[in-house]
Amino acid sequence: MENFSNETIDISSLPQYQEVQLDPMHPNYWKVIVLNICITLIFIIAVSTLLFLFNEELRPYILYASLAIIAFAVFLFVIFRLSFQRRGLAVREKDIIYSSGILSSKTTIVPFNRIQHVALNEGIFSRMYKLGALEVFTAGGATGNIKIHGMAIDQANKIKELLSESLNNGI
């Protein structure tokens, strides 16, 4: 008890999360997103081509369908580009900050001493560019977890090590 002190804290002197410079996603992750969008589009185009080949009644609408697909493609690219640009990550001494959102800006902060475990996922395309998704789990349930796509594997592993170090020190 002798070490106990209880001084008034000046809230403005506390570290301010909003002043932290967030790192953008790895540029290569955009390529992964583009690859994924292209595959989706190729699939849609293939299905509609088949439909038009085998169903003659639909043929008059071919122009509208192509326009709709083009509009959808543009929409996908714009949305994903925006979402890509608005994601940001920062690792501080004691916590990890992740920010995202198109219509809203959402920032989640997980203190290291509350992390339960960390997982690293690698998709097929991500692996081509040496990228991975880092997932940080807390006891706060699904909404309290964060998943960071498109991190360089090296960086993700570094963070993972850092986290498991602080996890072990905590116990």
Q: Which residues bind another protein (CB under 8 A)?
A: 9, 11-12, 14-18, 94-95, 101, 103-114, 116, 137-141, 143-146
CA neighbor of 89 nearest in space, from 148, 132, 28, 138: 148
Residue 4: exposed, middle, or buried by beta-carbon count in 10 A (0-12, 13-18, 19+)?
Answer: exposed
Q: Which residues contact 159 (CB under 8 A, 6 or more apart)?
A: 91, 96, 118, 134, 151
Of 40 and 105, the one with the shorter C-beta distance to another protein is 105
Secondary structure (3-state) at 35? helix
Of 22 and 153, the one with the shorter C-beta distance to another protein is 22
CB of 138 to another protein, least distance (A): 4
Of 63 and 142, the one with the shorter C-beta distance to another protein is 142
How does DSSP classify residue 16?
Answer: P
CB of 75 to another protein, least distance (A): 18
CB of 94 to another protein, least distance (A): 4
Look at the block and give the residue holding tokens 């959102």.
101
Of 94 and 158, the one with the shorter C-beta distance to another protein is 94
CB of 41 to another protein, least distance (A): 28
CB of 160 to another protein, least distance (A): 17
Of 123 and 144, the one with the shorter C-beta distance to another protein is 144
Q: C-alpha distances in angstroms, 36 versus 86, 87, 132, 151, 170?
A: 19, 18, 15, 16, 40
